[in-house]
């Protein structure tokens, strides 16, 4: 188990620039959709964290040719929709819920059998949200009670297109159903109560699939026409806004800081955190707006200063669900209260993120109230919280990184155990912070 300790910066600001690591969501999809195309898909800027590497191994086990050609550069030789081969061994997705759920959708569209496994954290996370709609499409699942890994999935000879009304807005559920529907003879539809990340729809369109998105009776409706021939693509993966959030918040809470984060993906369904931080008074400027791989991208210039507590509207939850832990850190240094509600999904992520953030913030001397569907943080108005504690991240990478950022602004260091999982999404985390002047290291 890895323990990292963040040393307080005192009055020393963060300075410099970094490039955001490749977007994890788009990296996963690049490998998967490349496997479903006919011919070579070339990817640059791929996030080479452990989660994405697990997806690369799984895609190769399903019959695609996967080759690393340089740093962040990969080529996937696809086998076409419906062309996946039955793997000879279990597909180990490590800590990746995205990898597991989306690959289940791919396998559910083919008449093959595959077993899905993962690490201890992933094996505690329920898969029932994707099992239920994929079962309607003809897939058969055998797994642990509560729909937990390991799970063996057998796809049907002829996958059935469905019209599925999802009880929650979830990009993973939507994507799994759409991926299974690619091999169905007909149109597959997913209806959501709110918009979720649309990377799957954007990328499927670029590969040549017929995908339609519309609003109907207050629902977001996405349809895909089955059995297309997907054309290989050249994909430049933009930087991950979820990873960029850590340096951005660190700069905001340390007065005098000025940090530039290059190549940040600014998809409106992913940029909710930056909107909330700006509403809190954060100085975040977007430079050189552009489009890469069908996604809006820009460079963020972030300057430290006073923040004020603000509400995080529940309607924004789907656009920033992974960023609530680091938002808590900004809230801890803000003036006043920041209320975060409608985020009960955080209780079934890599950990119960609501409980872990509440307990960790209290240990660091931050006042916080826990709700079943969220939390309310009472900020210090810029005064350093006490710190001087050890936080168990429960092998959750976002919890670990969030409390390390808090440690930079505390009176005493914060040590985080279970920090080895940072490598799943942000292998260069400590190196990037060192480049900005921070001291985060194993002690």
Binding residues for 3-phosphoshikimate: 24-25, 29, 170, 172, 322, 349
User: Residues 322, 373, 396, 431: which is the catalytic one?
Assistant: 322
Tell me how crowded residue 216 is: count the other CB atoms within 10 A of its CB: 9
Distance of CA 370 to the CA centre of its chain: 23
- Token pair belonging to 251: 């700069």
Report CA torsion sign: 44, 53, 97, 405: negative
Q: Is 322 a catalytic residue?
A: yes
CA atoms within 13 A on the CB side of 116: 35
Question: Which residue numbers belong to the known binding site?
Answer: 24-25, 29, 97, 125, 170, 172, 322, 349, 353, 398
Cα dihedral 126, 130, 132, 138, rounded to 10, equals -130
Q: Please choose, from the candidates 45, 53, 51, 42, the residue with its C-alpha nearest in 3D space to the C-alpha of residue 19.
A: 45
Three-state DSSP class for 139? coil
Q: Are strands 258-265 and 15-19 parallel, antiparallel or unpaired?
A: parallel
Which ranges of 145-218 would DSSP assign to H, the alpha helix? Answer: 171-181, 199-207
Report CA torsion sign: 342, 177, 422, 299: negative
The DSSP H or E segment spanning 235 is strand 234-236
The DSSP H or E segment spanning 78 is strand 73-79
Question: Which residue numbers belong to the known binding site for phosphoenolpyruvate?
Answer: 24, 97, 125, 172, 353, 398
Which ranges of 80-216 would DSSP assign to H, the alpha helix? Answer: 97-108, 120-123, 128-136, 171-181, 199-207
Q: Please choose, from the candidates 285, 288, 241, 245, the residue with its C-alpha nearest in 3D space to the C-alpha of residue 267.
A: 241
- Rounded CA-CA distance 215/210 in Å is 17
| Gyration radius from the chain CA atoms | 21
Positions annotated as catalytic residues are 322
């Amino acid at each position: 188990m890895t323990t990292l300790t963040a040393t307080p910066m005192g009055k020393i600001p963060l300075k410099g620039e970094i490039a955001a690591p490749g977007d994890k969501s788009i990296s996963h999809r690049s490998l998967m959709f490349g496997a479903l195309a006919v011919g070579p898909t070339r990817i640059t800027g791929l996030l080479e964290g452990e989660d994405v590497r697990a997806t690369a191994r799984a895609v190769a086990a399903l019959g695609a040719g996967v080759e690393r050609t340089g740093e962040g550069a990969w080529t996937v030789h696809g086998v076409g929709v419906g062309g996946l081969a039955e793997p000879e061994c279990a597909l180990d997705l490590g800590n990746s819920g995205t990898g597991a759920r989306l690959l289940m959708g791919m396998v559910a569209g083919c008449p093959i059998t595959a077993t899905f496994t993962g690490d201890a954290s992933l094996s505690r996370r329920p898969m029932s949200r994707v099992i239920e709609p994929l079962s309607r499409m003809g897939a058969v699942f055998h797994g642990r009670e509560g729909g937990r890994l390991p799970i063996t999935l057998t796809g049907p000879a002829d996958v059935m297109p469905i019209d599925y009304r999802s009880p929650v807005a979830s990009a993973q559920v939507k994507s799994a159903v759409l991926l299974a529907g690619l091999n169905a003879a007909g149109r597959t539809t997913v209806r959501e109560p709110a918009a979720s990340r649309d990377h799957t729809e954007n990328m499927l369109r670029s590969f040549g699939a017929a995908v339609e998105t519309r609003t109907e009776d207050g629902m977001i409706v996405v349809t895909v026409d089955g059995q297309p021939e997907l054309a290989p693509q050249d994909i430049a993966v933009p930087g991950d806004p979820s990873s960029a959030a850590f340096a951005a918040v660190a700069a905001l809470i340390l007065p005098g800081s000025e940090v530039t984060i290059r190549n940040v993906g600014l998809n409106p369904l992913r940029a909710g955190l930056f909107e909330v931080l700006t509403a809190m008074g954060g100085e975040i400027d977007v430079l050189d707006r552009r489009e890469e791989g069908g996604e809006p991208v820009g460079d963020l210039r972030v300057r430290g200063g006073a923040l004020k507590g603000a509400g995080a509207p529940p309607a924004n939850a789907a656009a920033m669900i992974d960023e609530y832990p680091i938002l808590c850190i900004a809230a801890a240094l803000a003036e006043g209260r920041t209320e975060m509600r409608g985020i009960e999904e955080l209780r079934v992520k890599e950990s119960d993120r609501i409980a872990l953030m509440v307990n960790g913030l209290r240990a660091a001397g931050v006042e916080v109230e826990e709700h079943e569907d969220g939390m309310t943080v009472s900020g210090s108005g810029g005064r350093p919280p006490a710190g001087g504690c050890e936080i168990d991240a429960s092998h959750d990478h976002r919890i670990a990184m969030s409390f390390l950022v808090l440690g930079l602004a505390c009176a005493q260091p914060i040590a985080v155990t279970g920090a080895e999982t940072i490598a799943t999404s942000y292998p260069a985390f400590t190196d990037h912070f060192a480049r900005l002047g921070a001291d985060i290291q194993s002690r």
